[in-house]
Amino acid sequence: MTDAVGPGDLVLCVNAAPNHVTGEPVPLVAGETYRVIEVMGFACPCGRSDALLDVGVAFAWCETRFRLLPKPKFEARPRRVSAPKEKETIR
């Protein structure tokens, strides 16, 4: 996932289990979306990922806790152009 994820991307937390290194509870919420602030190229101490994600909560988290959400697709919609109506003058 490291290559696909970058700063500004939205990720979904899929694993809010206790910290797998220290065993402490984590402040992340399963099912919540977070915006990635930074991708750090350090290997996680657990050995399951090659990068840590900073999502603005506490410090950095193993990328295995998250799934990348697809970027919203831009839909071009035709816009209405309003033109003034012509008025007929009646004499």
Q: Do residues 6 and 39 touch, judged by C-beta distance below 8 A? A: yes
pLDDT bin (cut points 50, 70, 90) of residue 20 is low
65 contacts 14 by C-beta, under 8 angstroms: yes
What single-letter DSSP state applies at residue 85? P
What are the C-alpha distances in Å from 62 to residues 26, 34, 56, 57, 78? Answer: 12, 14, 13, 13, 43
Q: What is the pTM of this model?
A: 0.67
Confidence of residue 22 (pLDDT cuts 50, 70, 90): confident
